[in-house]
Amino acid sequence: MSPAQSDGEVAAGIRSAPMASFSVTVGFQPVAPQYLGNAPGSVAGFLQLNLPVPKLDFLGSAQPATVPVFLTIPGDSAFVAGASIYVQ
């Protein structure tokens, strides 16, 4: 994170962002996050990710549906975190 924060420090008014490159997909489509950084009022290391939900043509009329979201941080040991969102 840049700027660095101490463990347990409250992130009040401090805008830290990851130093590593990363990519995000929603429904297997790449998206550009609107914000990735510390969550205001939380402790250091707790991140907030705001991202747009793209038009998901592959769903067709199968809505509502659960759509996968992946955050990938490449490197020697790539990190992939997955979650799902519910869209309708």
DSSP string, 3-18: S---TT-B-TT---B-
Number of domains in the chain: 1
Q: Which two tokens stand for residue 10?
A: 């409250």
pLDDT tens-digit profile of 43-53? Answer: 877 778 888 88
Q: Which residues pair with 36 in a beta bridge?
A: 49
Domain that holds residue 45: 23-87
Answer yes or no: is 3 within a domain: no
Q: What percent of the chain has pLDDT over 70?
A: 74
Answer yes or no: is 17 within a domain: no
- pLDDT at residue 30, rounded to an integer: 92
